[in-house]
Every structure is written in C-alpha cells, then in structure tokens.
Structure 1
Amino acid sequence: MKKTIKLLLASVLTFAATFAQAQTAEEIVNKYIEVTGGAAKWAELKSVKMTAKGKQGGMEFPITSLQKAPNLMKQSVSFQGKEITMSAFDGKETWKTNFMTMKAEKGEAEDSENAAKSMDFPDPFLDYKAKGYSIALEGEEKVEGTDCYKIKLTKKPIKVDGKEEEDFSFYFFDKENGVVIMNRSVMKKGPGKDQAIETLMSDYQEVNGLFFPFTVSQKMNGQVVFSMAMEKLEMNVAIDNKEFAFPID
C-alpha cells in the first residue's frame, strides 16, 4: 500500500510540474510582446525606416524599407545606380518596378485587396484579436537546434485566382527567450507557388526600447535564397505619404 501511495504521489507531482510548465498560445504571444518592448511601447510606433545590405544570387546591394501606420509600405533596392521598388502598398494599391521595362507597374486588383487585409504594422501579433486573427499552439519543433514553440497564426481569408483561401503561417518562438526566430509560410502565387518559404530572424537588438531582428534570411527547399543584415533602424521618422504613392511620369 505504501508503495502504491508513493507511486501515485510521484505521478501527481510529475503531472503538476508538467502542467506548471505548459504554455498556451496566448501566453507565448504575450511573452513575446513583453520581451520585445511591451504592448504600450509598440503602440507608440508610427513609422520605421530601415537601411540594410542584402545578398542574393552572389550579389550584394543596399536595401531601404519604409513602413508607416496604418498600412503603408515600400521596399526598394539600389542596383547599378538605379532605385528599384521591389514591393509597395499605398493603402489602396500594390505596385513595383518591372525589371524588364524598369518602369513602375500596379499589381492585380486581387493582390491589392489581399494586401489591405494582411498588412501588419508594426507586428501581426499586436492586438491580433481585434484584427480578427486567431492563434493556436501546434506543439514544439527545433529550428536549427533551438527548441521552439510552434504557433499557427490564421488571418482573414484571401483570394487566390478568384477563389477564397485560408491565410495562415507558422511562427516559431524560442522557448528560452520568447522571441520569434522563424516564420514558415506557403507561396500562393508566382513561379514558387505551393512551395514553403522559411524566414529566419536573429541578432535581436534594442532600438529606443523595442527589439528588432537585425539579421534576416529566407530559405526555400533548405537553401538560403536571400539574406539581409540591418545597418540602421530609425523609429517614428517623418515620411511623406508620397513616398508610397505610385509614380506618375
């Protein structure tokens, strides 16, 4: 009888310890917001200007990224003395530079509609419930040797070739320090359609009370296809809305 009681007590203690260590999706996300600066500090962020060095296909090039609340975005590179807009959203329409003609061209109406739904400045997890998003803990997974919680973030449905599809991706939170170190999503359009793309984030640094990853790389089929090293990040800088507008010749 004493042996049975001891075994039962040991099982209860083990269960209690496991329960105490268990994390919910909401707790993981709340910790992430807190360790990167806190919800109040993130809410104060109205614009960001980032300059970086990018690498792709053996080439290195300067990158400039502009973001402004609530949903303005522009990312451009400098190549052979020319500024090339890789992607931009002016709040209503997407556009970019056509590499063949070197002229700006607008995106499809469907792309603009999707962008309006999914722009997440400054962070997709900030006030995610108010945005109509949901999160779910999908277990644990190692990311390049680091133990992580795997969170599925589901946004509002988007349209792909005229059909409505679920919009979701997976975020991997470092169990030790709580920050996101990878995002995994599936490409919906283009040459890489249906392929998984992994965006890895590291070298978190503090800028005016908020923490950002200063090194970002993207992988497809296990191979690095793009990497970026941040050189400077400026917060709450004045950015004219004209910067995001489609250029008129």
Structure 2
Amino acid sequence: MKTLKLGIVLFIMAFALPTQAQTVDEILTTYFENVGGLENLKAIKGIKMNIKMNQQGMEFPVEVIQLSDGRQMTSISIQGNEMKQNVFDGETLWSTNFMTMKAEKSDPEATANFKLNTNDFPDAFIDYKEKGYVVELLGKETIDGAETFKIKLVKEPIKVDGKEEEDVSFYYFDAENFVPIAVESEVKSGPGKGMVSFVTMSDYQEVDGMYFPFSMSQGVKGQPGAPMNIESIQLNPEVVEGSFAFPDVLVEEKK
C-alpha cells in the first residue's frame, strides 16, 4: 500500500504554486489532485471503514459505512455486544441506546441536521459553491509543529432548539502536502454542547488510487483525543438492502 509522502509526483503541482499567492481554490484544487483527482472522488458510491478505536484504555472495533445516496451506519462492538449509532436510511435517523440496548429514533431536529450533512459525501469541499457554502482562507497556523493553511467552511444553517445557527468548521491543510490534518467545530447539542470538537488526521495511504488518512483522533480541543487506527478502507462496498432500516420496519416486512 502506497503512502502519501513529500517529494512524490503528486506534489509537483503544489510546489509550482507560489506559497504567498495561494488562494482557497488553488489549495482545494491541489488537495483534490493530491488525493486522487476530483472526478475520481465524485465517482465514489460508497466507503466502508474498519477501525480500531481506543477510549479510556479500552480498544474496540468500529465499522463505518457511508453511501453516496445518504445512507450510513456506524457499528460498535463492545464485549460481544453490537451497538449501532447514527444509522440513516435516507429519512429516519436512529441509534442503539447504550443503557437499554434498544433502537431509538432521533428527534426531527437532529434528523434534519444530519440529513443536511449527507450532502457532503465524500467531501464537503466538492462543488461547495453550487451547494451555497462559503469558504475562506484565514491565513496560516501551526498545528502539532506543522505549518497549515486555516480554511473556514460555512455550510447551510442548522437548527438548534428550533433556532437557526451557522454550521461552521475550520480545516487545517498541511502547507506542504495540501491535505487536511485537523478539523475543529463547535458542538451544538448534547452533553458536549459549547465545547470545541477537534479531529486530527494523518498517515494518508492509497486505496484503489485514492488517498485517505489511516490514523485519526477525536476529542475536545486542548485535551488528548481518542485514537482511531483505520485497519482497512473499501470503496464501493456491497451492502445488504434493509440493513439501514429501523428494526421495527424490518419486523413488519417479515410479517
């Protein structure tokens, strides 16, 4: 498996552009080129990731499936129990309640907000102007010793307690590799409301001609994040029809 490194052919375009004259669109164009090409990204119909996640000293496997039609699912296995989180069939969003181990539907507001984000598969920056998003280059910032371009992404407003709020994220693109190595955004709901989520990405590797980060961490800005090691990525996976449906729907279909 090839690994994205400095000096390879993918970066010729990046280094040819004067650093002082970078615009946000030049950065994004170079990014798409470096990870395998914009048209190849648009052609992806689905992604399946198998992840080993470490949280509070406990390691457990996680499987994530995302499809271009908006369907997605996260399956977590802990001590022999499989729990599904953020399962979306295109209309209904549901998760397994960790206490009762029963499937529960999300409220209409959370479902509507989640549905908005499904427009961003496989990358929020693809056709951002057509989607009505606003992207702004804020300058440079050092993240974990690496010089980065800080890019602000403003998407469609979301609803929080019935009121519209901006959906803003800040992406940090490595100034040499031109790939994202961190993303931060404010948590709008739930126990962490008001905190700043901070996700890091590294170890970009090739999968069928495309490059994806194989090492990530997720947590609150300023605190150690939970490490995630991606063991495998499969493009355009086969999925079982009905696997995204709320369990009650499956029971009714069998009758």
1:135 maps to which residue?
Answer: 135
Query: 2 CA distance for matches of 1:155 and 1:142?
Result: 25
Query: 1 CA distance for matches of 2:204 and 2:154?
Result: 25
In structure 2, the CA distance between the partners of 1:105 and 1:138, relative to structure 1 (3 Å rule), is: same
1:93 maps to which residue?
Answer: 92
* Number of aligned residue pairs: 232
Paired residue type of 1:52: I
2:201 maps to which residue?
Answer: 201
In structure 2, the CA distance between the partners of 1:233 and 1:58, relative to structure 1 (3 Å rule), is: same
- Structure 2 unaligned residues grouped into runs of 5+: 1-16
1:10 maps to which residue?
Answer: none
TM-score by length of 1: 0.89
SS at 1:176's partner residue? coil
Instruction: Give, in angstroms, the shift of residue 241 of structure 1.
Output: 4.0
Instruction: Give, in angstroms, the shift of residue 224 of structure 1.
Output: 2.1
Instruction: Give, in angstroms, the shift of residue 221 of structure 1.
Output: 4.2
- Higher alpha-carbon deviation: 220-229 or 97-106: 220-229
SS at 1:244's partner residue? coil
1:12 maps to which residue?
Answer: none
Instruction: Give, in angstroms, the shift of residue 70 of structure 1.
Output: 2.2
Deviations 1:139-187 (A, max 9, x none): 1111100000000011000000000001110000000010000000000
1:151 maps to which residue?
Answer: 151
1:64 maps to which residue?
Answer: 63
1:26 maps to which residue?
Answer: 25
Instruction: Give, in angstroms, the shift of residue 117 of structure 1.
Output: 1.1
Query: 2 CA distance for matches of 1:221 and 1:127?
Result: 29
Paired residue type of 1:146: A
1:167 maps to which residue?
Answer: 167
**2:48 paired with 1:49:** yes
Paired residue type of 1:40: E
Contact 1:47 1:239 in 2 (8 A): no
* Higher-Rg member (1/2): 1
Query: 1 CA distance for matches of 2:36 and 2:241?
Result: 27
1:113 maps to which residue?
Answer: 112
Instruction: Give, in angstroms, the shift of residue 219 of structure 1.
Output: 2.9
1:179 maps to which residue?
Answer: 179
Contact 1:195 1:220 in 2 (8 A): yes
Query: 2 CA distance for matches of 1:65 and 1:241?
Result: 16
TM-score by length of 2: 0.87
Query: 1 CA distance for matches of 2:117 and 2:50?
Result: 23
- Structure 1 unaligned residues grouped into runs of 5+: 1-17
Q: What is the CA RMSD across the aligned residues, in angstroms?
A: 1.5
Query: 1 CA distance for matches of 2:140 and 2:122?
Result: 26
2:10 maps to which residue?
Answer: none
Contact 1:173 1:181 in 2 (8 A): yes
Contact 1:118 1:155 in 2 (8 A): no
- Higher alpha-carbon deviation: 30-39 or 85-94: 85-94
Instruction: Give, in angstroms, the shift of residue 19 of structure 1.
Output: 7.3
SS at 2:32's partner residue? helix
2:192 maps to which residue?
Answer: 192
2:242 maps to which residue?
Answer: 242
Alignment identity in percent? Answer: 47
